[in-house]
Amino acid sequence: MSIAPTGVVFLALGLDILFGDPPNRFHPVAWMGSLIASAQRRQPLGRPAYKFIYGSGISLGGGMIIFLLSKSLIQIVDKLPIPVNWLAEAALLKSTLSVRGLTQAAQEVDNELLSGDLPAARRLLTWHLVSRTTENLDSSEVAAATIESIAENTSDGVLAPLFYYALGGLPLAFFYRYANTADAMLGYHTPPLEWLGKVPARLDDVLNYLPARLCAYLLILAAALCGEDAHRAWWVMKRDATKTLSPNAGYPMSVMAGALRVELGKSGEYRLGVGGGEPQTEDIRRARRMMLWATALGSALFAVVKFSKKQG
């Protein structure tokens, strides 16, 4: 393989930070979402077992199709001349990342909170960052939900794709992104999706098991570099990481709660960082700074891993 492994990681991040997401008609992840939505509309009626099997096919079968297509695509990219092949692979890897999209979405919520427009902040929070109901959240709760989303998406939308790229190249990164998208669309405990989304949800849990924990440790290191409370971040993670329904989301979220000395949570489900203060708009900016530092640290780590695999 002629593509420089370390350069592709940093070039992909640079492209994402500079240009953000392309329009949906050009975005591979949007194509994945359209494929999943089309399959969902054709789900079988009747017994839960049928829905379970069909959902398994959407998740595993669709993921294998994406894996094989991207494997064929990278074989074409490998034959391009240097540095065109570097840029092509970086552009494809960039489509699995959401650094700029995440920071911009959090900034937009922050701006509305600062201007005092709470309804607009709630609307942007729902539109960009969370699936929960936000109409009754106060400004501190909106800030808390934004910080939780930054923490969770640092893992799901940034570090996990890079983790799988380092392990298995673009095909594995695309397989992960497809599985994560399927979970985001189908993995809910609602009557229409309870059985259809079981395998997508469990597959996403398995794939995010290591990245979420690695993300937590990178966020602790980022907290130290940002001047936040890394010691409390570690302590809160050890105490609270397993309190969420998700086996993975609690790790980066509890670290963020501890590092910022705030309490995060969802009413009736979990509370992280108990004893901390109520999150404010300034805490959103602090969370974004930690996310960027963790992204930089993770990118360097995964670039080294990729380089080592290339040398081996």
CA distances, 169 to each of 13, 41, 165, 206, 217 (Å): 15, 32, 4, 19, 23
Q: Is the distance from CB of 245 to CB of 189 less than 8 angstroms?
A: no
Beta bridge partners of residue 271, listed in sequence order:
265
3-state secondary structure of 266: strand
State both tokens at 53. 């099997």
pLDDT in tens, 98-147: 999 999 999 999 999 999 999 999 999 999 899 888 999 999 999 999 99
Whether residue 2 has pLDDT greater than 80: no
Q: Phi/psi at 262 (nearest 5 deg)?
A: -130, 165
| Cα dist from 136 to 32, 119, 121, 140, 245, whole Å | 33, 9, 12, 11, 22
Domain ranges of the chain: 5-311
Say what percent of the chain tops pLDDT 90: 87
Write down the pLDDT at residue 7: 85
CA pair distance 67, 310, nearest whole angstrom? 20
Cβ-in-10-Å burial (0-12, 13-18, 19+) of 194 comes to: middle
Per the structure block, which two tokens stand in for 219? Answer: 């966020």
Indicate whether 24 pLDDT > 50.
Answer: yes
Whether the Cβ atoms of residue 199 and residue 267 lie closer than 8 Å to each other: no
* pLDDT tens digits, 147-175: 999 999 999 999 999 999 999 999 999 99
pLDDT at 1 over 70: no
Amino acid 210 reads: L
Per-residue confidence band for 311, with pLDDT thresholds at 50, 70 and 90 = low
Burial of 98 (0-12, 13-18, 19+ CB in 10 A): buried
Q: Are 186 and 197 in contact (CB under 8 A)?
A: yes
At 192-230, the pLDDT tens digits run 899 999 999 999 999 999 999 999 999 999 999 999 999
User: In terms of pTM, does the model score above 0.85?
Assistant: yes
